Amino acid sequence: MRITRVLGATALLFALAVPPAVADSAPSPSASGDDAAPTTAGTSFRTAAEVEQGQQATASASTGDYLYWSFPADAGQRPTVRATVKLPDAHAAQSWQIDVYDGLRRRQACQYGAQTRTAAQGAASVDLSCTLRTVRSWSEPWANDPLPGTYYVRLTALNVATADLGQPISASVRVGSKDVGGSAAVDGSLAEPLVPGIAVTSKSGEDDGDAAKSAVLAGLEPEDGWASGWWSDRWVWTAVGGVLAALAGVGGYALTRGSGRPGRVPPGA
């Protein structure tokens, strides 16, 4: 009976401590008439159009243009960028590519996804995607790990025939992310996220709020603000593991110690 109670308490504690299954943390897609979603794209890093995760940004441009968007990504997120390019009715075969850069303008490798695709002659559209590695809260200076801050998306055509240059196209970009959680947590955090101009804001914010605000080149941030870098569900699992180990020790002792009664004394002893 005692063993059953111990095992039952262990199972109940484990069930209460297990967090919900990891789900896509991106906000719900924006409605087609959402005025907050940008309808133009920048032509450089400095003029990149800011887009929130979950929004669908659109832009009209010409074949051969470089299109730029920016979005915020925080520690523990694994961003995925998806782009669709609608091509003109008549065109030769052409390749399209999306590249993602972090706040230091370092090109980030795609963990998986069709980053480059070739549209066959006369194809109506081409779809691209790029899933980055999980954003870490801290990294060595020499490493190229994704870090919290602003990320830039660049969309462009490669190897375009001369006759196709300048033809009108329309593009749409959507960014979402999956919350990986404590499995990717590391010790340490950045003093500030990699957002262009945020260091200037931190130093001059107390003196002149308006000037400091204008110094930030990318104003978007996650809905809940930037993570502090020290908390993750890894702490929960560590505590739960300690409790389960203690309960397992109690259960093992109860199984091996016996009934505790003295053995029967043989007659005539």
pLDDT score at 47: 94
Residue 2, pLDDT score: 46
Domain boundaries, the chain: 23-181
Of 14, 168, 190, nearest to 91 (Cα)?
Answer: 168
Compute CA distances 206 → 184, 213, 242, whole Å.
35, 11, 44
**C-alpha distances in Å from residue 150, one per residue of 105, 125, 209, 259:** 10, 28, 21, 64
Q: Mind spelling out the 3-state secondary structure of 9-60?
A: HHHHHHHHHCCCCCCECCCCCCCCCCCCCCCCCECCCCCCEECCCCCEEEEE
Token pair of 205 as six digits: 């914010």
pLDDT at 245 (0 to 100)? 87
**Which pLDDT score is estimated for 62?**
94
The pair of three-digit structure tokens given for residue 31, joined into one six-digit string: 């409605």
Assigned token pair, 265: 């004394």
Smallest CA-to-CA distance from 188 within 227, 219, 161, 159 is with: 227
The one-letter amino acid code at 226 reads W
- Which residues lie closer than 8 Å to 266 by C-beta, 6 or more apart? none
pLDDT at position 11 is: 46
**pLDDT value, residue 231:** 57
According to DSSP, the residues that pair with 77 across neighbouring strands are 179
pLDDT at res. 215: 44
What's the pLDDT at 200? 55
Tens of pLDDT along the chain (269 residues)?
A: 444 444 444 444 444 444 443 334 333 333 344 568 899 999 999 999 999 999 999 999 999 999 999 999 998 899 999 999 999 999 999 999 999 999 989 999 999 999 999 999 999 999 999 999 999 888 787 888 899 999 999 999 998 999 999 999 999 999 999 888 666 666 667 777 888 876 555 555 555 555 444 444 566 777 767 774 455 566 666 777 888 888 888 888 888 876 555 555 566 65
Half-sphere exposure of 27 (CA within 13 A, CB side): 15
Q: Are 110 and 259 in contact (CB under 8 A)?
A: no
∠ CA(41), CA(174), CA(153), 5° rounding?
Answer: 50
Q: What is the pLDDT of residue 242?
A: 83
Q: What is the DSSP string of 53-106?
A: TT-EEEEEEETT--EEEEEEE-TTEEEEEEEEEEPPSS---EEEEEEEE-TT-P
Domain covering 23-181 in this structure, CATH number: 2.60.120.380
Write down the pLDDT at residue 46: 92
